[in-house]
Structure 1
Amino acid sequence: MSAPQLPKVAGIDPAVPTPAHTVAPVPARPAPAPTHAPAPGTVIQDRLAGWVSDLTTLHELTERLARTRDLEDSLREVLSAGAALVGARRGLVVLEPADGLGPAQTVGLGLGHADLGHIETVPRSATPYGRILDGLPDAQGGAEQLPDPDQAPGQDGYAAPVDPRHREVAARLGYAASYALPLAAEPLGRLGAAVWLYDEHTEPTERQRHLTGLYVRYAAEHVARVLEVTRARTRLATVAEELLPSRLPRVAGVRLAARHRTGPRGGGDWYDALPLPEGALGLAVGSVTGSGPSAVAAMGRLRASLRAYAVMEGEDPVAVLSDLELLLRLTEPARSATALFAYCEPARRKIILAGAGHAPPLLIGEHRTEYVETSLSAPLGMLSCWEAPSVEVDPAPGETVLLYTDGLLQRTGDSMDRAFARLHAAAASVPRTVRDDPAGLCDHILRTVLPEGRDETDSEEDIVLLAARFD
């Protein structure tokens, strides 16, 4: 009869030899059953705790998403939250609305521009998210396992053939699996697709899939709303730009440059430069109260009217603004506007200007940087009859006259006195290399007065700069 072996300890055979037995070994007793089974209430409490935890997580993620207003920020938040839910550290979301109206945009998480470029070289039909974007019948998203290079076809982990370019890009970027979901919302339909990349052969659990699906459904609705707002802003900005000069005129003796930044809701700031008889030039800037489509439309009407008055009596800026004020008071009595019109004779380097509640021009040169002294006057439409004297300015050769709207000052967030001082300091610090270039001068002032890209942010205020350098 064979004797039983002693159990191994930590995988090492015992050194003591097995003793001989003359009787049969006593069979081992079965382990006693647990005396206390979990109470039904405990199981329910655990499930409720899990549900509360999931709901809390979804609430926090959706709250963070709801605070985003920009389209790119929304897409980045969707990508980051989804990565946390599915347990991935990299991914990308592709916005490609099915209606073809755009905008098309790709945002990556943990992927640089070069990495995104490599992924875009993979045939779209070879990836789940690509099939979602192309609207193929099997475009349901889900998990995808890429082949393990250490295994041969047919072994576990090599579930299906993969496009050679897809295998090459996956090996270069170091990901082995992916999980993709469509972004879709009514009434726009398919918006795009999101895909998260795993470094190893894995996929999200059933719980992770459920939570991610709930989050993505809400996220798609939010992205759709932000997309509609973005499209509306783009259309409004396009209309506003079309109402402004498509190009500045060329007049002997003077060089012109302009910069215009439109707020997200569209504002009423405008500028104009038009050649006048006998080699003269008319320069104008203005701002209509309010924002949105009505302000943009009023701005277009006001600018068109000023052009007509400037052609008829441009040599008298006071008369031009008086006619404009009368028109505004008769046609739009509930609206007011500021304006400044300058009649320039480049050959004589002479400027006659008048302003209606507008900020004074800035004279910038090598030997002086100073504001032009204009008389205080009310905006157009504020009084029963507007009138203010004109001012004559004689710029020296090489000096630049800068016209601007008060949006430049208000975007600084400072008081008006400090904002004027900031603008003066920026103009006085224009480098010599760009002093003779009106476009470079405008860019320098924008960067200096509004640093850190604040001239491009979604401020409610429009910005207009119009620079005229006299030879």
Structure 2
Amino acid sequence: MTAPHLPKVAGISSPVPAPAHTSAPAVPSPPTVPEPPAPAPCALVQDRLAGWVSDLTTLQELTERLARTARLDDALHEVLRAGASLVGAGRGLVTLHSADADGAGHPVTVGLGLGLADLGHIETIPHERDRAPHSPYVRLLDDLPPVGDRSGTAHPDIPGEGGLDPRHREVAARLGYAASYAVPLESPVSPRADSGAPPAAGRIGAAVWLYDEPAEPTERQRHLAGLYCGYATEHLARLVELTHAREAVATLREELLPSRLPRVPGVRLAVRHRTGPQGGGDWYDALPLPEGALGLAIGGITGSGPGAIAAMGRLRASLRAYAVMEGEDPVAVLSDLELLLRVTEPARAATALFAYCEPAERKVVVAGAGHCSPLIIGSDRVEYVETSLSAPLGMLACWEAPSVEIEPAPGETLLFYSDGLLHRTGDSMDRAYARLHAAAAGVPRAARRDPEAVADHVLRTVLPDGSVPEGGEDVILLVAHFE
């Protein structure tokens, strides 16, 4: 008999057992965390390219800043600042062998965050190997690689490094640095390769940066510092050559001007001379003449550089000869000079002012050719001498202008000056003349009898900062005090 089925009720399952072949319900396993996908090769390339672009941008900015420096000292300080930012250091120094054309010269050392006393302490570190007496490298740089190897040298932990001289550790502890990284300033082309000599490797100096804690630049930092120093070497070499050329021109110019002022009874002289960076053709002269007379001259020739200086020397020598022959007639002196200029220097023009002085009689005869009028300073007057208006020498077919006679009183002073003194003020000529007049009027009465004090006061007042702007003209101040 078949058993009857029970009725189905909602929510109650049937009591019929499950078939034997039915498996038990599976226990769920915990979820697995998926592994991050491997970076795509293109992402690595993009990161590397971004790093290269960043490095190149940094180098471009630093080299552009260095290229804007026109003076050797400014360039050395810029190299130190840029290198410190590249290798992550805070202080450093750079030393340069500033040899002249004859191979002589002395090292130039500049510090960043180091005073002169600190540099002196570093110089006391003993040599680790023999070097030539004219070596430009301080003792801290003795272990640089030989010439031809431009890799840097690191001391990552000076207090704990073995083999160092005890004096090295003592100086490092005294100055508060614990690590250093040095790079030679070396170029594959000699600084004088453009003079006709064959190119050769040359090391012109070295730079070292100091760390306050034990540290060492990374390989990337070393690479960037090496690239920057390679460019800096070329720039510094050019500035060294330019500095030597300017010094040679300045020396030549000084040799062509009076080495000392003459002593003539009845008058005392003083001169102040500031040479512009380009070396212009301004000049002055003070020449004793027969019968106790004195010739005073000041002028300038167009142009700058060695050519203008050589022309200035010829012009001054000629004026001295004419002054000896006919100095009592300043117009004749300048007329002869103008004729000589047109024959020997047809492409140049010149300004000149010549004064024939008789100190015993306190009489001065002045003739000028396009030059600034002298200024007379006395207890009762400060005024410009009214010379006749005339063109510079070489500008007209024939020069001639009347002379002016001055009778300075006892204790009065004549002030001759170059137009560079007025131009360097940066003002218009009217304002510059007014500034010079105010400076002369402001000379203390106690100092008016001292030509040296008069010259210093006028120069300091007209050019208060004493700066020599790039491309600025020469400044000459010639003072004659009549007793």
TM range (shorter): 0.7 to 0.9
Q: Distance in 1 between matches of 2:186 and 2:148?
A: 15
Once the two structures are superposed, what CA deviation does each residue of 1:339-390 show, in whole Å capped at 9, x if it has no partner? 0000011111111110000000011123221111101001001111111111
| 444 and 237 in structure 1: CA distance in 2 versus 1, 3 angstrom threshold | same
Larger Rg: 2
Counterpart of 2:59 in structure 1 is 58
CA contact (8 A) 2:249 2:306 kept: yes
Alpha-carbon distance, 1:407 to partner: 0.8
Partner Cα distance (1:221, 1:294) in 2: 28
Inter-partner Cα distance in structure 1 for 2:380 and 2:168? 64
Superposition pairs of residues 445-464 of structure 1, within 5 angstroms: 445-454=458-467, 456-464=468-476
Contact 2:416 2:477 in 1 (8 A): yes
Match for 1:336 among 345, 349, 352? 349
Quote how far apart the aligned CAs of 1:132 are: 6.8
Q: Is 1:131–1:139's contact at 8 Å kept on the other side of the alignment?
A: no
Distance of 1:147 and 1:116 partners within structure 2: 18
Provide the residue aligned with 1:287 in structure 2.
300
Equivalent residue number for residue 25 of structure 1: none
Match of 2:119 among 116, 119, 138: 116
Question: Kindly, what percent of the aligned residue pairs are identical?
Answer: 71
Q: 1:431 to 1:125 in 2, by over 3 A?
A: farther
SS at the partner of 1:125?
coil
| 1:457 to partner: Cα distance | 3.6
Instruction: Measure how far apart 1:128 and its partner are.
Output: 6.8
TM-score by length of 2: 0.85
Structure 2 unaligned runs (5+)? 1-29, 130-137, 192-201
Equivalent residue in structure 1 for 2:163, among 158, 161, 171: 161
Q: Which residue does 2:230 correspond to in 1?
A: 217
1:206 & 1:134 partners in 2: Cα distance? Answer: 17
Q: 1:134 to 1:201 in 2, by over 3 A?
A: closer
Aligned mates of 1:229, 1:350 — CA distance in 2: 47
TM normalised by structure 1 equals 0.87
Whether the aligned pair in 1 keeps the contact of 2:150 and 2:183 (CA below 8 Å) is no
Give matches, 1:313-392, under 5 Å: 313-392=326-405
Aligned: 1:191 with 2:204: yes
Measured in 2, the distance between the counterparts of 1:107 and 1:285 equals: 39
**Secondary structure at 2:388 match in 1:** coil
Structure 1 stretch 365-374 or stretch 86-95: which is displaced more? Answer: 365-374
Aligned residue in 2 for 1:22: none
Tell whether 2:202 aligns with 1:202: no
Matched, 1:79 2:80: yes
Aligned residue in 1 for 2:454: 441
Contiguous gaps of at least 5 residues in structure 1? 1-28, 149-157
Q: Is the 8 A contact 2:93 2:208 kept in 1?
A: yes
CA deviations over 1:319-346 (Å, ceiling 9, x no partner)? 1001000111111111110000000111
1:130 aligns with 2:141: yes
SS at match of 1:178: strand
Report whether the alignment pairs 1:143 with 2:154: yes
Deviations 1:270-327 (A, max 9, x none): 0000100011100000000111111111100000000000000001101100100011
Structure 1 residue identity aligned to 2:169: R
**Letter of the 1:65 counterpart:** L
Partner of 1:306: 319
Q: CA deviation at 1:463?
A: 1.1
Do the aligned partners of residues 134 and 460 (structure 1) sit closer, same or farther apart at CA in structure 2, a change above 3 Å counting?
farther
Change in Cα spacing, 1:129 to 1:116, as seen in structure 2 (3 Å) is closer
CA 1:249 to 1:133, structure 2 compared with 1: closer, same or farther past 3 Å?
farther
What per-residue deviation string (whole Å, max 9, x for no partner) do you get for residues 120-162 of structure 1?
A: 22224387753279978999641114543xxxxxxxxx23222
For 2:376 and 2:471, locate their aligned partners in 1 and report how far apart those are by CA, in whole Å. Answer: 27
**Structure-2 separation of matches of 1:42 and 1:141:** 33
Instruction: State the partner residue of 2:176.
Output: 174
Letter in 1 for 2:205: G
Query: 1:102 aligns to what?
Result: 105
Q: 1:467 and 1:433 mapped to 2: Cα distance?
A: 16
Contact 1:375–1:388 at 8 Å: present in 2 too?
yes
Change (3 A) 1:470 1:125: farther
Q: What is the correspondence of 1:214-293 to structure 2 with a 5 Å cutoff? A: 214-293=227-306
Q: Which of 400, 403, 415 is residue 402 of structure 1 equivalent to?
A: 415
Deviation at 1:192, TM superposition (A): 1.1
C-alpha contact 1:253 1:347 (8 A) present in aligned 2: yes
- Secondary structure of 1:55's counterpart equals helix
Deviations 1:68-125 (A, max 9, x none): 0010000000000000001011111111146744353211111122212222222243
Q: For 1:123, give the aligned amino acid.
A: P
Aligned in 2, Cα 1:134/1:38: closer, same or farther, shift over 3 Å? closer
CA distance, structure 2, for counterparts of residue 236 and residue 257 of structure 1? 24
Q: Secondary structure at the match of 2:128?
A: helix
Mapped to 2, the partners of 1:134 and 1:448 lie a distance apart of 53
The alignment covers a number of residue pairs equal to: 433
Q: Which moved more, 1:334-343 or 1:439-448?
A: 439-448
| Structural RMSD (CA) | 2.2
How far the C-alpha of 1:462 sits from its partner, in A, is 1.1
CA spacing shift, 1:435–1:218, aligned 2, 3 Å: same
